[in-house]
Structure 1
Amino acid sequence: MQGIERNVDERQQAGLSESNPKAWRGRFPRNEIISLLNVNRPFNLAESTSQDLTLGELLSLPGLEDIRNLKLGYGTSAGSVALREAIAEGCKVPAEQIITTQGTALGLFLLAFEVCRSGDEAVLATPCFPPSRDCLLGAGVSVREIKLSFEHGYRLDLEQIEASLSPKTKLVSIASPQNPAGIQTSRADVEKLLVLMEKRAPDAILFIDETYREATYGDNAALESFAGLDARIVTGASVSKALGAPGLRTGWLTVENADLRERLAVAKMNTVISGSGLDETLATALLRNRESVLAPRRRLLAAALQELALWCESEDERIEWVRPDAGALCCLRLRADAFDEVAVARFWDLLPGHDLQLASGAWFGESSRVFRLGFGYLPPARLGPALSALSTVMDAATA
């Protein structure tokens, strides 16, 4: 299958959206993933984060003893030195190559807005986190989507990407591990992709979203960052997912090219001026103590993944799944031989009545037969009951 080009002008001038195709007039396409900010049902299997860190847990970490004396002035354009040093330690690149952003999505938006001009294209691997697609469209970029398949475990399809690359390509965007599937891209595949880019899109930058890189299982160490592998690679991540602190709104980009880094700092200044000094101070302490925070979370994720795997095995006549490599999330699919289209629609209609919340595959560029299930957000005692409720909904949908 070839990549699918979405022309931003056509979509935005028409004012289309998935939820209300005739009425939406925003520059950014509307996506129903926004509902996760407004609804949190008791059996929330839609969230992709680990359990939320509390402010009390964060303030108990070493390094915050003098936070009452923190002056709440403007931050620096690149982000605080202390925070960039803590990020650099985890990415194994020099601190001067880091620029902080309000989450990874803003970083990608600024990158696309700065490196792409009218007529330029971006190649995007999907399914993906919706803002990873929609911020490109909002920045005015023509997007060529490379649809990865459930059947092939959402592994990167280099042949599809090669066919979509051209001299117009200025940005290639992937995630590793992916959202919604939690699948890691190998170093070998990234190196092959760089070769293809050199041949077919020599001016392109490769953006790799590494938001879930540290969300491994049990005693497994964090996956190695792609930062520093090649000057054409820009990575992005945040404290939101593995560390459970999305409320800090602190993310970053690793950018080896000094000229691009300076341009991004100017773009940041003209959009958000700087990061919050309070958020960056808290995020610095969190990152400096990352292993003590991550270790218990990795054990919880490993236990939750095992519980989910057993449930998937018990339900294998009705669902299929792609086991994730990392992250608190994975993709499941309602089997076509068990659910016709009417039953799929009924499945989604029944979820709220059972206090259940799932993330529809349609949000990410998949079909509604697929859904993202987050297995790390609920407390351990509630995951089992939530999966039992999900079985009950499947019973009712096919009754």
Structure 2
Amino acid sequence: MSVIADRLKNVSISASAAMTQRARELAAKGIKVVSLSSGEPDFPTPAHAIEAAHAAALAGDTKYPPMDGTPALKSAIIRKFKRDNNLDYDASQIVVSGGGKQVIFNAMLATCNPGDEVVIPTPSWVSYADIVKFAGGVPVAVPCHEQAGFKLHPEDLEAAITPRTKWLFLNFPNNPTGAACSRAEMAAIAEVMLRHPNVWIMTDDIYEHLVYDDFQFCTIAEVEPRLYDRVLTMNGVSKAYAMTGWRLGFCAGPKELISVVSNVNGQNGGGIATLTQAAATAALDGPQDLLKERAAIYKERRDFVLDRLSEVDGLRCHKPEGAFYIYPNISGLIGKTSKGGRKIETDVDFVTALVEEHHVATVQGAAYGMSPFFRISYATSMEKLGEGCARIAQFCRDMR
């Protein structure tokens, strides 16, 4: 009898984490690797957030925390939702967890029965489908095509919903494409969901503050208040405030749902470190100017990468509205052979050859459910982006 549980048979290792690990292995051998695989801001955590954690430690705030979040942090989250999204919640509608991934994990464990379907617009973050499967659900991919700007079409959404559909996941701005939904596009999605009152909606808004070219972010419960009572709105401090290592995410929703998510959260984590919660409180309540300042830097990086990769034969790049990713189409390179003799038949072949031959780490589109593409993260310095783009261009030019 195997010690490994059956539930893990269909759960895969994160492709982005695997590529990041490969880059580290090459670097350990003395190879200079340009890593464009990790979706992690290269900015520091805001100083006032660090100071708040330090002050909490000095004050002795190091005991067990409340299972679902400290009162101070919950209050800051309530203010954030009102300030940024015009959404009203009270403390009983908020749960704090160990990052956005744990929020989603807890929600699926709390609500999914075997065979329940979860509609996921695709390309999508690598963990969504695996979390659903772990909870006993069935992920249902709805393609968001490149020619449509990687947006979710209402007709495609309607066709994907069945009597077994339990959830719809939304993630705009999107990982890996950077596509975002305008208010009109979100309203069209909401119109479909109003026709399906038994389907819940989980919206992952972690890239909310990373939008460019005067694009206005919106979230579905704000756009269509009639959906408020069946929307779980997830967010966190990792991307906007460069606090990935602090591990804190949060969600808000109807009390009925939050109650069961909180129950799972209490058994699954036992509360988030008090110092992390103090830092997050300071980040959410403190000066917000840095959000626009950093978004302007990301926009400059996006444009830099687009300008360089758009000149490369065989690559086709969609201009993203948000997040910090570009998702180039490599269909023009499929069937070719790299200078190192590797046949490029899939996007897995492409990223493997790229990291082994030119030492640039990226992630294959197959990991996100749509090929042939690869994901580049521009959450790094202009120097690294310049070197990475130059190596990618040379890699593509050398193919025969």
8 Å CA contact 1:215, 1:222 repeated in 2: no
1:375 aligns with 2:340: no
Q: Please state whether the residue corresponding to 1:322 is helix, strand or coil.
A: coil
For 1:357, which of 358, 361, 369 is the aligned residue?
A: 361
Map 1:38-57 → 2, pairs under 5 A: 38=21, 39-40=23-24, 42-53=33-44
Superposed displacement of residue 43, structure 1:
1.2
In the other structure, the counterpart of 1:297 is 294
**Which has more helix, going by share of residues?**
2
1:258 aligns with 2:252: no
8 Å CA contact 2:351, 2:374 repeated in 1: no
Using the size of structure 1 for normalisation, the TM-score is 0.84
Superposed displacement of residue 154, structure 1:
0.8
State the one-letter code of the partner of 1:343.
I
Q: Please state whether the residue corresponding to 2:261 is helix, strand or coil.
A: helix
Structure 1 residues 63 and 45, CA gap change in structure 2 (3 angstroms): closer
Structure 1 residues 391 and 234, CA gap change in structure 2 (3 angstroms): same
Superposed displacement of residue 160, structure 1:
1.7
1:91 aligns with 2:92: no
Map 1:241-252 → 2, pairs under 5 A: 241-252=239-250
8 Å CA contact 1:240, 1:246 repeated in 2: yes
Q: Please state whether the residue corresponding to 1:143 is helix, strand or coil.
A: strand
In the other structure, the counterpart of 1:170 is 166
Structure 1 residues 82 and 221, CA gap change in structure 2 (3 angstroms): farther
Q: How far apart are the structure 2 equivalents of 1:127 and 1:203?
A: 25
Q: How far apart are the structure 1 equivalents of 2:137 and 2:197?
A: 18
State the one-letter code of the partner of 1:263.
V
8 Å CA contact 1:50, 1:241 repeated in 2: yes
Structure 1 residues 303 and 197, CA gap change in structure 2 (3 angstroms): closer
Structure 1 residues 222 and 294, CA gap change in structure 2 (3 angstroms): farther
Structure 1 residues 274 and 159, CA gap change in structure 2 (3 angstroms): same
Q: How far apart are the structure 2 equivalents of 1:63 and 1:95?
A: 25
Q: How far apart are the structure 1 equivalents of 2:10 and 2:330?
A: 33
Structure 1 residues 72 and 28, CA gap change in structure 2 (3 angstroms): farther
Superposed displacement of residue 308, structure 1:
1.4
1:112 aligns with 2:102: no
In the other structure, the counterpart of 1:208 is 203
Q: How far apart are the structure 1 equivalents of 2:191 and 2:165?
A: 14
CA deviation profile, 1:93-119 (whole Å, cap 9, x unmatched)? 334232111111211122122222233
In the other structure, the counterpart of 1:231 is 229
Q: How far apart are the structure 2 equivalents of 1:390 and 1:180?
A: 18
8 Å CA contact 1:87, 1:95 repeated in 2: no
CA deviation profile, 1:169-224 (whole Å, cap 9, x unmatched)? 1111121111101111233333333332342x321111111111111348x58723
In the other structure, the counterpart of 2:154 is 158
Q: How far apart are the structure 2 equivalents of 1:287 and 1:314?
A: 40
Q: Please state whether the residue corresponding to 1:179 is helix, strand or coil.
A: coil
Identical columns (%): 20
CA deviation profile, 1:350-398 (whole Å, cap 9, x unmatched)? 323423110111111112x30111112x2222221221111112123x1
Superposed displacement of residue 134, structure 1:
0.8
State the one-letter code of the partner of 1:223.
F
Map 1:1-399 → 2, pairs under 5 A: 26=9, 28-36=11-19, 38=21, 39-40=23-24, 42-53=33-44, 58-60=49-51, 65-92=55-82, 93-96=88-91, 97-199=93-195, 201-217=196-212, 220=214, 223-228=217-222, 229=225, 230-255=228-253, 257-289=254-286, 291-315=288-312, 317-336=313-332, 338-340=333-335, 342-343=343-344, 345=349, 348-367=352-371, 369-376=372-379, 378-396=380-398, 398-399=399-400
Structure 1 residues 245 and 125, CA gap change in structure 2 (3 angstroms): same
Structure 1 residues 156 and 260, CA gap change in structure 2 (3 angstroms): same
Q: How far apart are the structure 1 equivalents of 2:331 and 2:117?
A: 36
Q: How far apart are the structure 1 equivalents of 2:351 and 2:210?
A: 30
CA deviation profile, 1:236-275 (whole Å, cap 9, x unmatched)? 12211222211111001121x1121111111111111211
Q: How far apart are the structure 1 equivalents of 2:141 and 2:384?
A: 37
Superposed displacement of residue 140, structure 1:
0.3
Aligned residues: 369
Superposed displacement of residue 27, structure 1:
5.7
8 Å CA contact 2:212, 2:296 repeated in 1: yes
Structure 1 residues 353 and 54, CA gap change in structure 2 (3 angstroms): farther
State the one-letter code of the partner of 2:137.
V
Q: How far apart are the structure 2 equivalents of 1:176 and 1:313?
A: 24
Q: How far apart are the structure 2 equivalents of 1:298 and 1:118?
A: 41
8 Å CA contact 1:123, 1:146 repeated in 2: yes
8 Å CA contact 2:48, 2:282 repeated in 1: no
Q: How far apart are the structure 1 equivalents of 2:235 and 2:216?
A: 13
Q: Please state whether the residue corresponding to 1:311 is helix, strand or coil.
A: helix
Structure 1 residues 55 and 26, CA gap change in structure 2 (3 angstroms): farther
Structure 1 residues 335 and 184, CA gap change in structure 2 (3 angstroms): same
8 Å CA contact 1:148, 1:155 repeated in 2: yes
Structure 2: 5+ residue stretches without partners: 28-32, 83-87, 337-342
CA deviation profile, 1:144-177 (whole Å, cap 9, x unmatched)? 2112212222110221211121232111112111
Structure 1 residues 239 and 290, CA gap change in structure 2 (3 angstroms): farther
In the other structure, the counterpart of 1:4 is none
Using the size of structure 2 for normalisation, the TM-score is 0.84
Structure 1 residues 339 and 36, CA gap change in structure 2 (3 angstroms): closer
